[in-house]
Structure 1
Amino acid sequence: MPKKWSTKNLTVVQAPTDNAEGIGIFDFTDDYSIFHYGKMPDKIPGKGEALCRMAVANFALLKEHGIRTHFLRFLPPNRIEFQLLRVLDPADGALYRNARNCLIPLQVIFRNSLPPGSSAFRRLDSGEISLESLGLTKMPKPADRLPRPVIEFTTKLEEIDRFITEDEAKDVALLSDAQMDRVKQLTIQIDDVLTKHASKVGLDHSDGKFEFGIAADGEIILVDTAGTADENRFLLGDFHVGKQILRDYYARIDLGGQVRHWAATKVPRDSWPKMEKAPPQLIPPMTAMYRALTERWTGDPIWKEASLEDTITSVKRVQESI
């Protein structure tokens, strides 16, 4: 479920109860967020609709493969209706063991490769993770593929989500061994479906995150959205098709490092310095790129955008000029 600085807005149509799912609507906005900073000061027009349509296509794709999600229906052009679960925060004791009809308060991170910009490199350098945990025996280079998909976990409901071990994740979410195994099994299955589709349309699916919930009948289901350029990292050749472009721009001021420092020193979020907008000339080609990505992914020429390759060329030209 989104936080207050999410790029999706939530409308509660019918609140969930202890025993029954509710109904919610996600409004995909044109906002973007990077480095856990929260909403950045400008927007990418058309991004919300593009990613909403990509998410809807993925819900249909996953349904074809027998994977249950909370999706109910598409509300064009940029909203979806879905089954709304309870959010029981473990920090205040609201979550309890064997709870049903609730969000699992974890983000499940998966990695198929380690492209430039992956946080795994920083965490390897700092000793937060080991080569063994990634299935490696030597230090990787950017763009190296992993021998098998790697699963990691972060918290979900904290101010700044943090990586935790699998045992910690199971304890935080009060999951049984069988439930944790099911979460990992679903992660691998969903990753496989999306990775194969990405390959079919000429993209490399590098990494991403999924979120899960426990339905009223006790089954673990996919919630939020999956397989869009906000949750997942897609590459065309060696080019990141998504907001890595904006991460790279703000990396010039080490925004990621600043956010980690502010969080570690408990600087209140509303006291964080205001960010300057991205260069305005970067926004139109970003819009075109998101639309071209969605058209490539869905096979539907909704906007009759230029090819993904051409929109990437336009983005690169602007990157070289700023």
Structure 2
Amino acid sequence: MKKIHSGKVRDLYEIDSDLLLVASDRVSVYDVSLPTPVPDKGALLTRLSAWWFEQLSDVVPNHVISATDVPAEFAGRALRCRPLTMLPVECIARGYLVGMGLREYRKNGTVSGVALPEGLVEGSRLPEPIFTPTTKESDTGHDEFMTFEEVVELVGREQADRMRDLTLEIYTRGAERAGRNGIIVADTKLEFGLDSDGVLTLADEVLTSDSSRFWPADDWEPGRPQHAFDKQIVRDWATSTGWDKTPPGPAIPEEVVAETRARYTEVYERITGLRWNG
């Protein structure tokens, strides 16, 4: 194996002619990896991603070859994948107004150039899900909103249409499936690449607690922050410390680590209907 990239949460290896995508227990907020791991996080993300890739296989091809044919030291938290030419867009679908989308709406009344009705508040459900792409890299080091036409300029209209349509279809399917078990998918981020035949292919992770905002449906109330089954608890704690969101990040207290692990575990079990056995 040869390590070819180390990201904020995932590490990428070359293995034979395939790629190995390994999820660590690291936590990243505001584009900074914090120094304290969350036990089982990498395995929970990997298993939830693998489950969703299978559920969505009739919607779009994905890059997964195997979740079991991986080196023993990475068992349970790695996916063997096909190499892709990744496209330079973070594809985000939003069904509710929160986070970066809320901040953009308060400033402009739009998100990624999509006009929204007046009077929406934090946690409002949108009239319909919207496609709000962002850059993967920018001069600021943070994701920046793009308009759909900017995506067209990067990848061409046909590919941009396909990416938008697939992002919204995957979000809708995911939200319906999670909703059956009392989970709201407020938003989610997807990545796509092209395989060796030029076929648009779903990659990275899908509908996990790192790439999505999950809320309990029975506790949803617009106009306030929502209880979140994702890393929002870490974001909120990090913000409360007065940290300026530049590296290095602060160490996470034990109680925040334990609660984060519990929320990742609960949403995995509620969405999939499977028991987490480590």
Contact 1:155 1:169 survives alignment (8 Å)? no
1:186 to 166, 172, 175: 166
Could you list the runs of 5+ residues in structure 1 that have no partner in the other structure?
Answer: 15-21, 86-101, 260-271, 305-322
Instruction: Look up the equivalent residue of 2:88 and give its one-letter code.
Output: P
Instruction: Look up the equivalent residue of 1:280 and give its one-letter code.
Output: E
CA-CA distance at 1:292 after TM superposition = 2.2
User: How do residues 1-40 of structure 1 correspond to structure 2 at under 5 angstroms?
Assistant: 4-14=6-16, 22-36=17-31, 38-40=32-34
The aligned residue for residue 303 of structure 1 is 277
Are 1:56 and 2:50 counterparts?
Answer: yes
Greater helix proportion: 1
Could you list the runs of 5+ residues in structure 2 that have no partner in the other structure?
Answer: 69-74, 221-226
User: Aligned to 1:42, what secondary structure does the other structure show?
Assistant: coil
User: Aligned to 2:117, what secondary structure does the other structure show?
Assistant: coil
TM-score, with normalisation over the residues of structure 2?
Answer: 0.86
Contact 1:154 1:161 survives alignment (8 Å)? yes
The aligned residue for residue 214 of structure 1 is 194
Q: 1:206 to 1:4 in 2, by over 3 A?
A: same
1:126 to 93, 103, 107: 107
- Give the percent of matched residue pairs that are identical in Structure 1 and Structure 2: 25
Q: Deviations over 1:171-200 (max 9, x none)?
A: 2x3x22111111111111111111111112
Instruction: Look up the equivalent residue of 1:107 and give its one-letter code.
Output: E
Measure, in 1, the Cα distance between the counterparts of 2:165 and 2:144. Answer: 22
Q: 1:182 to 1:42 in 2, by over 3 A?
A: same
Greater strand proportion: 2
Structure 1 stretches (4+) deviating beyond 3 angstroms? 2-5, 131-135
Q: 1:273 to 1:199 in 2, by over 3 A?
A: closer
The aligned residue for residue 315 of structure 1 is none
The aligned residue for residue 247 of structure 1 is 235
TM-score, with normalisation over the residues of structure 1?
Answer: 0.74
1:203 to 153, 177, 183: 183
Measure, in 1, the Cα distance between the counterparts of 2:232 and 2:111. Answer: 24
CA-CA distance at 1:132 after TM superposition = 10
Are 1:167 and 2:155 counterparts?
Answer: no
CA-CA distance at 1:274 after TM superposition = 2.7
CA-CA distance at 1:233 after TM superposition = 0.8
1:68 to 48, 57, 61: 61
CA RMSD of aligned residues (A): 2.2
Q: How many residues align?
A: 259
